[in-house]
Amino acid sequence: MFSLNGKTIVVIGAGSGIGEAIAIGAADQGASYVACLDVNETGAGATAARIDPTGVTAGALTIDIADAEGTRDCLEQLAAAHGSLDGLVCTPSINVRKPILAYTGDEFDRVVRLNLRGNFNVLQAAGRIMTQQKRGSIVLYSSIRSIVTEPGQSVYSMTKAGILQLAKTAATEWATLGVRVNAVGPGVVETPLTAPIKDNREWYDAYARKSPMQRWAQPGEMVGPTLFLLSDAASYVTGTIIYADGGWLAADGRFTPPGM
C-alpha cells in the first residue's frame, strides 16, 4: 500500500536538499514518472539523471513558483503529457532572519512572495488538475515554526503557519473530490537553506541539543513521511501535518533532573 506504482509524481524543489531526496525516493517506490522541478535547472537535471539509471522515467523542468501563470502552465503540460498528476510535493522556501524592528518591506515581500504566494500558486494549479481528474495527493512543506518560533523568525514562521492553513483549507474544499492535501513539518534539517547555521558551530550544536534525539535530521529522513502521504496507505489522511522533528515539539527545553 506504500507503493507509488503507476503514479506520476511532481517534486518541486528537486534540485537539492529535501526535494532531491524525495524525488529519488519516489522513484525507489516505483513511480512511473518523476518530474524534477526547480528554479535551478542544473540541479533539477542532475537529480533526474540520478533517477534515470534506476529504470524509472524522470525529467527536469525549470519552475518559479512565484509566477502563477508559469506554474499553472508547467503543471498542466506535465498532466497532459503523462495522462494524470497523481502526487505533488512542494518544498521550496526562503528565510530572512532579522528582528521585527529591523525588517524591511522588501524583505517581507520577498519571503511572503515565495513562501506563501508560491505555495498558493502551486496548490491552486495542482488543485485544478486533481479535482477535475477526481484523485490526487498534494504535500506542502511547513515547519516546526508553524507552532513555535524564536527571535528573528517572525516572517518565516508566519509563512509556515500560513502554509499549514492553506493545506487544511484545501483539504476541506476538495475532500469529496478525491484530492487529499497535507503538510510535513520538519525540524532542523541539514540543507542548503540551513548551511549558514552549520557554519556556526555554537548555533548548530545548540539546535542539536534542543532535539531529544540530540542531532539534526538529514534530507533523506523527510522522504518516508512525505511518500506515506502521497501513497494509498494515507487514503484517509487529509488536512493534517506530520511533524518530522526528532521530538523537538515534545520537549520544552528545560533542565533534565538528575537521575532521569
Q: What is the pLDDT of residues 194-209, one digit of tens each?
A: 888 888 999 999 999 9
pTM recorded for the entire structure = 0.95
Domain assignment present for 56: yes
CATH classification at residue 164: 3.40.50.720
Residue 258: per-residue pLDDT: 67
Range of the domain at 63: 8-189+222-244
Average pLDDT over residues 23-45: 97
pLDDT, tens digit, 9 for 90 and up, residues 50-63: 997 777 899 999 99
205, part of any domain: no
Q: Using pLDDT thresholds of 50, 70 and 90, give the confidence band for residue 257.
A: low
User: Is residue 94 one of the residues assigned to a domain?
Assistant: yes
Mean pLDDT of 11-28: 97
Instruction: Tell me how crowded residue 40 is: count the other CB atoms within 10 A of its CB.
Output: 17
Q: What is the rounded CA–CA span in Å between residue 30 and residue 185?
A: 25
Catalytic residue list contains 207: no
Average pLDDT in the chain: 95
Q: Is 184 left (phi over 0), alpha (psi -120 to 50) or beta?
A: beta
In a domain, 48, yes or no: yes
Whether 244 and 187 have beta carbons less than 8 Å apart is answered as yes
| Catalytic entry in 33, 103, 141, 156 | 156
User: Residue 192: how many CA atoms within 13 Å on its side-chain side?
Assistant: 14
**Number of domains present in the structure of the chain:** 1
- pLDDT number for residue 54: 73
Distance CA 158, CA 183 (A): 15
Specify whether the CB–CB gap between 16 and 44 falls below 8 A.
no
